[in-house]
Amino acid sequence: MEIPLDFETLRVIWWALIGILLIGFAITDGHDMGVTALLPFVAKTDEERRAVINTVSATWEGNQVWFILGGGAIFAAWPFVYAVSFSGFYLAMFVVLMSMILRPVGFKYRSKRPEKAWRRNWDWALFIGGFVPTLVFGVAIGNVLSGAPFRLDSDLRITYEGGLLGLFTPFTVLCGLTSVAMVVLQGATWLGLKLERGEVHKRSMKFGFVAGIAVIVLFALGFVFLKFGNIGYQVVGDVAAGGVSNPRRAEVVPMAGGWLTNYATYPWMWIAPIVGFAGPVLALVGLKLKSEPLAFGGSSFGIFGIIGSVGASMFPIILPSTLDAKSSLLVWTASSSHLTLFIMLGVTLVFLPIVLAYTAWVYKVLFGRVGIENIRTNPDMY
C-alpha cells in the first residue's frame, strides 16, 4: 500500500495532534476542575455552592472525552511513551484517577441529603477532585522536562527506578503550582461567564485576578529554571526523521539550558511563550474591565501558550531518560508504524470534526447564566 504522506510528516502531525488534545483537555475540563477547586472559597452558603456546581453540571461529563482521547491517542500513536509513562508514573496516575472519581460522585451525591456536614464534606471532596489532578498533571510535566529514571534494554524492555516521592522536586512543584494557577484562572473566568452578577461573581473575579498574576509570575520562574537551572537535554548527532521506530537508535544527553535552544534555531517558536504570557495579561484586562468573554478568552489563550511552550521547547524529544542516553524517546524514534499513523489520521479527520461540532452545539444550547433563583425554582439542578 502506497501511503501519500511520508513517515516524518505523519510523526510531526501526530506530535501536534497530541498537543491539541492536551490543550483541549486543559481548556475544557480545566474550567471544570478550576470551578471545583474554587468551590469552598467563592461560595459561602449552600445555595451559592449549588449555583457554582451547576455552572459546570451540563458539560463536565462531555469534557472528559478529551482526557480519554488523549490517553487513547498516546497509546496508539506513541506506544513507547504510553508504556514508560503509565508504568513509571503508575502511583501518580492512581492518585489522579482516585481524586477525579470524587468529582462525579460528589456531583451526584452532594445534594441527596440536607445535613450541613454531609454537604460540606462533599464540597471538600469536589475541591480535592479539582485541585489534586491539576497539581499532579503539572508535576508530571515538570518530570517530563527534568527527565524520567528509566532505561530500555536491547529487547526494549522497560526498567523504571523512580518512586512517588521522587517526582516532587522544587522545579516539578513549581510546574504543579503553575498548573493550579492556570486552571484556577480558567475556572474563575468561567464562573464570570456563567454566574449571574452578585457576591459569588465578585469573589470569583477577585480569585481570578490573583490567579492571573500567579500564572505570569510562575511561568516566568519556570523559564528562569530552564535558563539557569541544571535542566535540559539535547540530541547528539543526526537522527533519521523517517527511520524505524526504535528508541535506542538515538542518543540524548543532559545539557543545562538545552530546552531553550529551539528558540534560537526556530525563532517562530517564540509565539508559544509570548501567547503564554499575553493570555493571562489579557485575562487580567478582561477582569479589570468586567468583560467576562475577554477574560475567559485570555485565560484559554494562556493555556494554549503555556502547554505549547513545553512542546516547542522539547521538540523532537518527548521523554528523556536520566539513566541511559540511548533510552530517551523522540518524535522520530518512538512512534507507531507508518501505516498505523496514516490510518489513525484518516479516522481522526473524520471523527474529530464531529466531536468538535457536537461540543460547540452542546455549549451553545446549554449556555446561560446560573443564579440563586434558578436553584430555588428548578428541581433538576444539583
Tell me, yes or no, whether 62 lies in a domain.
yes
Tell me, yes or no, whether 322 lies in a domain.
no
Kindly state the percentage of the chain with pLDDT values over 90: 55
Q: What is the pLDDT of residues 319-374, one digit of tens each?
A: 999 988 898 999 999 999 999 999 999 999 998 898 889 888 988 888 888 888 87
Q: What residue type is 113 in one-letter code?
A: R
Cell numbers at residue 89, please?
508514573
Tell me, yes or no, whether 361 lies in a domain.
yes
Q: Residue 313: pLDDT band by 50, 70, 90 thresholds?
A: very high
- 373, 47 Cβ separation under 8 angstroms: no
What is the CB neighbour count within 10 angstroms for residue 312?
A: 20
Tell me, yes or no, whether 251 lies in a domain.
no
Q: What is the mean pLDDT of residues 28-47?
A: 92
Which stretch of DSSP H or E encloses residue 329?
A: strand 329-330
Strand ranges (E), the chain: 150-152, 158-160, 233-236, 251-254, 317-319, 329-330
Q: What is the mean pLDDT of residues 166-186?
A: 94
How does DSSP classify residue 195? B
Would the pLDDT of 142 be above 70?
yes
pLDDT value at position 130?
Answer: 93
Q: How many CA atoms lie within 13 A of 309 on its CB side?
A: 23
Tell me, yes or no, whether 44 lies in a domain.
yes
Tell me, yes or no, whether 288 lies in a domain.
yes
Cell numbers at residue 61, please?
461529563
Average pLDDT, the chain: 90
Tell me, yes or no, whether 21 lies in a domain.
yes
| Residue range of the domain that includes 79 | 7-226+266-311+336-377
pLDDT value at position 1?
Answer: 61
Q: What is the mean pLDDT of residues 19-24?
A: 91
pLDDT value at position 121?
Answer: 93
Tell me, yes or no, whether 128 lies in a domain.
yes
Domain count, the chain: 1
Would the pLDDT of 89 be above 90?
no
Q: What is the pLDDT of residues 247-288, one digit of tens each?
A: 888 889 999 888 999 999 999 999 999 999 999 999 999 999
The CA-CA-CA angle for residues 242, 346, 66, to 5°, reads: 100
CA distance 320 to 329: 6
